[in-house]
Structure formats: C-alpha cells, structure tokens
Structure 1
C-alpha cells in the first residue's frame, strides 16, 4: 500500500467531497495522480469529490476506496468513512422525503396552473356575459335603424307621385307623413307618396317595440312642366 509522506490534519470543509478535493489540490495533486497512486478509477474520485454518491460502488469496495484515499491524503480514514455514511443517510432521507411529497398529491405548479386556467375561463365567461348585457341594454334603448335610399334630399321632379324606398329593423313600424307603411320581414319598405306643386316635405319615422324612434326627412320640389 502506498503511504503518503504528508502529515495528518483535520478536515474542516462543509462536505466530504469538498474537503477531500481541497486537501488534494492543496498538495498540487490532480485526479489522475490520485488514481494512479491508489489504483482507483478517475471517475470514482471525481464523483466522490462532487458528491455524486449514486455513481460510486457500494459495500466493501467503497469503504476500501475511502480508506485508501484518506490514507493517501494523510487524514483519518475512520473519520472519512463516518462522514461518508452520515452524508449517505442524509441523502437517503432526502430521497424518501421526495417520495413522500410525491405521494401526497400534485406539485405546487400542478395545482396553480389549473387554478389559473379556471380563473381565465371565469374571466372570459364574465366578459361575454357583460358584453351580452351591454348589447341587450343598447338594443333596448337605442333607436331603430332607418335608411331611406329613395328619394334623395332636395330632389326636383315633375311628377306628382313619388316612391319612398328604405329599410329598418324587421320588428319596427314605419310611418310616412303620419301614415303607417307595411314593413317586410327583411325590414324593407316601399310606399307611393302623392306630391303637390312646389316644396314637399316627406317625414319617415321608424319606431321599435321599446317605443324608441328615428326620423329622416326628405324635401322634394315639384316643378310641373309648362
């Protein structure tokens, strides 16, 4: 067995791997130097110093490995093995604790994400409801649509009969100069209106079921031919 000439010293770092690495580097030794001296694979030395204990062999092999490494660095191999076993117990408890919480239910993220989705869906539903209510209020208090396509305003004609053509909401009533006019299912209407010589004012009014009205006026001048 190779015996290191270095004097014995106490390990003062936080983890076993950090302590061993600090001792090795303080002596100017590389991982390959240690591997060649104690005949242990370099990846095992690197894993031990990094705290990757799951990579290391188990049983008597790891104990011999730790004993050789500690002796080579000039530290108490019993203390090194004790620290290793202590850290392994802590590691095992950490694994068991993780399994325990996994059995208890979904993670925080698994709980929060569906909750956010529910909040988003509820917000969208509330927006749609308010939009519908707003539209209903608007249609209740807004006057009906009324478009008069014929005649044009300030029209000059020679005939004493004129066709008034337009459209409104299908459920609305239309009156032309105070006379009720039939409205088609599509909302369209057409009515003949008698005119007199000179200026004629045609008043078209649409009224919906909520008694809201909209009025359009057209002025037509009749200039009979001489």
Structure 2
C-alpha cells in the first residue's frame, strides 16, 4: 500500500499521519519513547505516522492503536478515526475490503448473538456429532440385513434339489450350511442345494467383521414321488 499523502480530498485538513506526527513533535518526544510508554510495537506507531495502513493489524486492532496514540497526544479520537476510516476506504483495494468485511461480519454476527443462542447452537453441533458416530458404530456392530427369497418357509417338494436365493448387504459373508457362498456387488446370492428324502434343514447365515450374525433357518420336506 502506498503511504497516505494529502490530495484534493484533504486540501483543507491534515491527514491522520500528519496530525499524529505534528502533535508528537510539539510534545518533543521521540516515537521510540511513545512505543515504550504505550507498550505498542514501534512499527505500528511508525506506520500510523507514515500512513502505511496496510502494515497495521486489520479491523479493530489497528483502530485501538490509533485510539491509544491519539489519547496520549491529546487529540480528538472520534474525529481522528473518522478521517482514518475515510483514508483507508480511499486507498484500500476494493476486493481486499470486501473479503475482510465479509469475514469480520461473520465473526461479529456469531459473537454478537446472545449467549443462550450460541450455547444452543454448540449443543446442537455436539448432538449431531454424537448421532453421526452412533449411527456409524451401530452400522458396524449390528447384524447385517438378510432376506431369503427361496425356498419358502416349510417348503414341500418332490424334487431332490432346491435353489436357495436371497439378498444381503454388500461385503457381507454368507454361508449356507456352513459353506461360504459368494454374493454379487449388490449383495444377491444363490446356491443349488441337494436334498434328501424327508426333512431337510437349511441354515443361512450372514455376518460381517465385528458384528453379530443374522441366521435364518429353512425347513424343506421332500416327499417321495
């Protein structure tokens, strides 16, 4: 940022930098001494006296330095800060001002809200996090879904073979009578099972790591032809 100098906007008045520098010189005190007394970094006071506003902290911090310095010199701060803001608006790039203003507005909006509302919002965020973690944990430990489409319950047939067909979740291990059955990418599985005469017990189990197993038992009765 180019140091602020007088132009046609300020022909009838001194700039902030000129007023600060003149007031200090009238008191016959060095800038280093002022920095030490006010406990403000020398470079910030020097930036104020030179109009190098881009070297100052953004927002209220820069104004606080100006307030302390102007009060120390016995200057009228409200009048001085009004001129300061005008000078900053004249020389600060528009894009930089808009970005900073948006960021500052967001922060001010949040911190200006009543404490009850802020606490309520914080609690809501915490609850959402716990719910999300609970859902994820439940998905890990709960037994997977298992649907057996065939055969029907208490199925009676005269055939010596039956198709066991069903659907479960993806990446779930399926076994039929302790034999691992491969499922497709959608969780569908199918297996032809040989039957014997009389009552046949078919046990279908779906399980995944760290979870309980889901077990469905089908009874198939084979009648002699």
User: Which has the higher Rg, Structure 1 or Structure 2?
Assistant: 1
Give the TM-score of the pair, scaled to structure 1: 0.48
